[in-house]
């Protein structure tokens, strides 16, 4: 579990920092886990104990021949859906070592069962210990490893650790080999185990599968939520996964004494406010919202995994039991990562699996006091009331008032919280009713979902503007009126920081080529001068399709052949260019409200400078609700001996009537003489470093140091 976040961080720069990168990595890890469990289950039965131990020794030795913790020589990702490409890349670089790591828990427990140890008849406590070790490794990464060690150093340390693991596994296999050689055959199983072997019904296996599927899917749904609007970094990926592992530790521990009755009662009480957050699309403050999401996930995963642990079979079925758990885990991941983006245009999997958890949860024992006639009348009434509030939404401007009104259906659901099916129906109908609410930001003209996120084109401000949003963040807008269609709006308004940057750029020949990282709706194309060529670098083909639809946006169309779009990760694309020099390079690559971290490192800056013409300007759009990137970029500029200026443009209510939005922009130049017009503007001030923020590199970043306290 040190390898998981480390491998994901290695591949992140190849795919633009999208949160889906981690979700796809989780699918790979769970697929390897499933393969490892299948190997541990079927291998000894097919090959016999001695031959299987010999095969395991050969695989351990062979894994060192295939181990490669660098991505040198990796091909560029495809432009469309890189899901399969990323899986194959991970198989190529870390497939066999991770597969062997995945076999460890069930295989060692199976070998342990063949010993005469007093605990051999119930070895499931080792599964708890295994997950505890996984949790420790996972938490060490963001707290100790990532802030302290460069990425290549991390890889080297991990290889030494893997060598120690391989040596220990070889010793265990050799011990088993000698033991099996001294016996006439495989150890005899207890009679109860042989009887149980033929008695496990498929309904029981299906129950294990579903109870493992729900927490896995819920984990990725929560991960997508917390990383979409902050940053695609290991720290935020690890939180849900750490809680996921902790639930296994508590559920399978032989000594765990957590208050189970309190968990059973607390889960519905926390699901209700979470449902209200979803219905009202409340995403902040993050100090309140994220803990609620994480706590509900933790309790939901714990109640599911506890039921799995309590239904564990005789040790004779140990490896098969783990196989069904692993199969449920990967099916949950595939639903979120592969199926949902293809089937849904919005994040539907989160509320869907939340309702499934309501169906699977443990209900407190005791009298069900709700009259039978009201058991479904109450949840239906909750759904109808929610629908009424949603349809009346435009006339209820206060979020607090709407929250108060929705407390009524929440209370109706609370009355049936001790009844599994009625409560699930109530939550499901409330969430379904919310789907009929008018979009609070305007009329939705189109919606699309890809590997990189969800997109909506809206008609807003009484039909005056069309806008594009990615997740919860607007990525540009355009006036509907013909006489103002060519005007840049929102963050790119002519009276804002970027307008001042363009006016300050010299009109020399070296500034005829302009590069923009991040397309959005193409707003920046409206700044093109007749003698200039603008190149936009965009990772998601869907964004280009949206920007080129004339019925939505016309910025690119008005730019004609003088504006081109290069698809793929911008950093990789810029690096691959040979001989191109740009007078201005604009960094405006959002992943919802998060900027991909690999675009703000020392190595990334070196690529930009190699493509920047003499006297050229780097412009970074760093508007962000949660991260303050000023000290990061100031430190980069300091290290490269560049001049850095920043301007924070604040608008009351964040948007003015003429379509201007608040925005933060930072510029870098090789010399102050390149930017005399801005240095004399008092609104542009020198970017400030922070002693807490070290130089970010491809090998090092620290998200905790730049979390905004505004």
Output the domain CATH number for residue 34: 1.20.1250
- Is the domain of 356 the same as that of 414? no
Of 102-111, 369-378, 545-554, which one has max mean pLDDT? 545-554
- Is the domain of 234 the same as that of 306? yes
**End position of a domain, from candidates 296, 326, 360:** 360
Give the Cα separation of 470 and 592 in Å (integer): 5
What integer is the mean pLDDT of 181-200? 49
In a domain, 445, yes or no: no
Give the Cα separation of 494 and 563 in Å (integer): 20
For residue 26, pLDDT beyond 60: yes
Give the Cα separation of 587 and 585 in Å (integer): 7
In a domain, 380, yes or no: yes
CB atoms within 10 A of CB 569: 26
- Is the domain of 17 the same as that of 153? yes
Which residues form the domain of 600? Answer: 487-706
In a domain, 194, yes or no: no
Which residues does residue 661 pair with via DSSP β-bridges, in sequence order?
Answer: 655
Q: How much is the pLDDT for 76?
A: 57
Confidence of residue 347 (pLDDT cuts 50, 70, 90): confident
Q: What is the mean pLDDT of the chain?
A: 83
**Is it true that the peptide bond before 285 is cis, omega within 30 degrees of 0?**
yes
What integer is the mean pLDDT of 295-324? 90
- Is the domain of 640 the same as that of 688? yes
Which residues does residue 168 pair with via DSSP β-bridges, in sequence order?
Answer: none
- Is the domain of 560 the same as that of 694? yes
Least confident of 21-35, 240-254, 484-498: 21-35
Radius of gyration of the chain (CA): 28
For residue 191, pLDDT beyond 50: no
In 3-state terms, what secondary structure has residue 392?
coil
Confidence of residue 555 (pLDDT cuts 50, 70, 90): very high
Q: Domain tally for the chain?
A: 3
End-to-end CA distance of the chain: 34
What integer is the mean pLDDT of 37-66? 81
In a domain, 526, yes or no: yes
DSSP-assigned letters across all residues of 394-461: GG---HHHHHHHHHHHHHHHHTTTTSHHHHHHHHHHHHHHHTTSPPTT-EEEEEEEETTEEEEEEEET
Of 237-241, 622-626, 687-691, which one has max mean pLDDT? 687-691
* Alpha helical stretches, state H, 183-285: 191-197, 202-228, 234-252, 260-280
Q: How much is the pLDDT for 188?
A: 41
Q: How much is the pLDDT for 186?
A: 44
Give the Cα separation of 436 and 431 in Å (integer): 10
Confidence of residue 225 (pLDDT cuts 50, 70, 90): confident
- Is the domain of 350 the same as that of 397? no
Confidence of residue 189 (pLDDT cuts 50, 70, 90): very low
Structure tokens at 391: 């349809």
Q: How much is the pLDDT for 80?
A: 54
Q: How much is the pLDDT for 509?
A: 52
Give the Cα separation of 529 and 78 in Å (integer): 33
For residue 190, pLDDT beyond 60: no
Contact 298, 243 (CB under 8 A): yes
Structure tokens at 183: 């016996």
pTM of the full predicted structure? 0.76
For residue 521, pLDDT beyond 60: yes
- Is the domain of 536 the same as that of 407? no
For residue 21, pLDDT beyond 70: yes
Q: How much is the pLDDT for 194?
A: 41
- Is the domain of 315 the same as that of 416? no
- Is the domain of 219 the same as that of 111? yes
**End position of a domain, from candidates 305, 337, 360:** 360
Structure tokens at 656: 């003015």
Q: How much is the pLDDT for 427?
A: 94
Q: How much is the pLDDT for 515?
A: 95
Confidence of residue 665 (pLDDT cuts 50, 70, 90): very high
Contact 379, 413 (CB under 8 A): yes
For residue 211, pLDDT beyond 60: yes
Sequence-ordered list of residues with C-beta below 8 angstroms from that of 586, at least 6 positions apart, any chain: 498, 514, 515, 516, 517, 518, 524, 619, 621
* Percent above pLDDT 90 for the chain: 30
In a domain, 634, yes or no: yes
Q: How much is the pLDDT for 287?
A: 78
In a domain, 688, yes or no: yes
In a domain, 472, yes or no: no
What integer is the mean pLDDT of 285-300? 89
Give the Cα separation of 302 and 339 in Å (integer): 25
Of 387-391, 533-537, 556-560, which one has max mean pLDDT? 533-537
* Percent above pLDDT 70 for the chain: 88
What integer is the mean pLDDT of 207-217? 96
What integer is the mean pLDDT of 180-209? 63
**Chain segment 625-652, per-residue pLDDT in tens:** 778 899 999 999 999 999 999 999 988 7
- Is the domain of 383 the same as that of 532? no
Confidence of residue 418 (pLDDT cuts 50, 70, 90): confident
For residue 662, pLDDT beyond 80: yes
For residue 620, pLDDT beyond 80: yes
Contact 396, 402 (CB under 8 A): yes
For residue 482, pLDDT beyond 70: yes
For residue 184, pLDDT beyond 70: no
For residue 317, pLDDT beyond 80: yes
Order the strands of the 513-517 sheet from edge to edge: 563-567, 533-538, 513-517, 582-587, 612-621, 663-669, 643-649, 685-686
**End position of a domain, from candidates 434, 455, 470:** 434
CATH number (domain holding residue 641): 3.40.50.150
**Chain segment 69-104, per-residue pLDDT in tens:** 666 655 555 555 677 888 888 888 888 888 988 888
- Is the domain of 610 the same as that of 672? yes
- Is the domain of 287 the same as that of 207? yes
What integer is the mean pLDDT of 283-311? 90
Give the Cα separation of 18 and 224 in Å (integer): 10
In a domain, 365, yes or no: no
């Amino acid at each position: 579990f040190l390898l998981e976040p480390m491998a994901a961080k290695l591949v992140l720069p190849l795919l633009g920092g999208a949160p889906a990168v981690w979700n796809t990595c989780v699918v790979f890890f769970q697929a390897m886990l499933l393969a490892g469990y299948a190997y541990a289950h079927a291998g000894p039965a097919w090959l016999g104990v001695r031959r299987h131990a010999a095969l395991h020794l050969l695989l351990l030795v062979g894994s060192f021949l295939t181990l490669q913790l660098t991505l040198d020589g990796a091909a560029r990702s495809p432009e469309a859906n890189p899901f399969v490409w990323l899986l194959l890349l991970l198989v190529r670089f870390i497939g066999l070592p991770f597969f062997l790591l995945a076999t460890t828990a069930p295989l060692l427990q199976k070998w342990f069962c063949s010993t005469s140890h007093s605990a051999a008849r119930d070895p499931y406590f080792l599964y708890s210990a295994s997950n505890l070790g996984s949790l420790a490794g996972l938490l060490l990464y963001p707290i100790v490893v990532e802030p302290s060690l460069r990425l290549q150093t991390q890889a080297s340390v991990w290889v030494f650790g893997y060598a120690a693991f391989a040596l220990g596994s070889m010793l265990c296999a050799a011990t088993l080999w000698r033991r099996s050689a001294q016996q006439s055959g495989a150890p005899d199983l207890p009679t109860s185990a042989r009887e149980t072997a033929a008695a496990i019904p498929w309904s029981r296996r299906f129950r294990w599968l579903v109870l493992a599927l729900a927490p896995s899917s819920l984990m990725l749904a929560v991960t997508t939520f917390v990383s979409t609007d902050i940053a695609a970094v290991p720290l935020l990926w690890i939180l849900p996964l750490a809680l996921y592992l902790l639930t296994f530790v508590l559920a399978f521990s032989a000594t765990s004494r957590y208050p189970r009755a309190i968990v059973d009662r607390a889960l519905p009480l926390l699901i209700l406010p979470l449902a209200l957050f979803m219905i009202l699309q409340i995403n902040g403050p993050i100090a309140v919202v994220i803990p609620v999401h994480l706590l509900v996930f933790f309790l939901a995963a714990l109640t599911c995994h506890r039921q799995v642990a309590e239904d564990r079979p005789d040790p004779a079925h140990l490896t098969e039991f783990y196989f069904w758990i692993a199969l449920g885990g990967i099916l949950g991941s595939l639903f979120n990562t592969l199926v949902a983006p293809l089937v849904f245009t919005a994040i539907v999997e989160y509320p869907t699996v939340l309702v499934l958890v309501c169906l699977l949860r443990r209900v407190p024992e005791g009298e069900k006091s709700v009259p039978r006639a009201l058991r479904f009348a109450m949840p239906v009434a909750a759904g109808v009331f929610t629908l009424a509030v949603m349809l009346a939404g435009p006339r209820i401007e206060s979020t607090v008032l709407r929250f108060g009104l929705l407390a009524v259906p929440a209370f109706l659901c609370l009355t049936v919280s001790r009844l599994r099916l009625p409560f699930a129906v109530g939550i499901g109908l409330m969430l379904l009713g919310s789907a009929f609410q008018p979009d609070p930001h305007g009329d939705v003209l189109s919606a699309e979902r890809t590997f990189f996120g969800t997109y909506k084109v809206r008609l807003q401000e009484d039909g005056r503007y069309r806008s594009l949003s990615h997740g919860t963040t607007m990525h540009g807008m355009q006036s509907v009126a013909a006489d103002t269609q060519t005007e840049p709006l929102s963050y790119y308004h002519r009276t804002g920081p970027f307008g001042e940057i363009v006016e300050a750029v010299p009109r020399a020949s070296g500034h005829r080529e302009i590069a923009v990282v991040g397309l959005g709706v193409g707003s920046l194309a409206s700044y093109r001068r007749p003698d200039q060529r603008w190149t936009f670098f965009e990772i998601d083909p869907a964004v280009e399709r949206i920007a080129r639809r004339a019925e939505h946006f016309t910025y690119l169309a008005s730019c004609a052949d003088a504006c081109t779009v290069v698809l793929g990760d911008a950093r990789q694309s810029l690096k691959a260019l040979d001989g191109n020099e740009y007078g201005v390079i604009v960094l405006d690559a959002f992943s919802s409200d998060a900027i991909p971290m690999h675009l703000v490192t020392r190595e990334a800056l070196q690529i930009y400078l190699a493509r920047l013409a003499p006297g050229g300007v780097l412009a970074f759009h760093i508007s962000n609700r949660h991260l303050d990137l000023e000290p990061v970029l100031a430190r980069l500029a300091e290290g490269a001996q560049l001049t850095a200026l920043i301007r924070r443009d604040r608008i009351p209510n964040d948007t003015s009537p003429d379509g201007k939005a608040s925005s933060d922009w930072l510029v870098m130049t090789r010399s102050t003489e390149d930017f005399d017009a801005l240095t004399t503007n008092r609104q542009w001030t020198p970017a400030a470093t922070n002693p807490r923020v070290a130089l970010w590199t491809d090998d090092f970043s620290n998200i905790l140091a730049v979390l905004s306290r505004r």
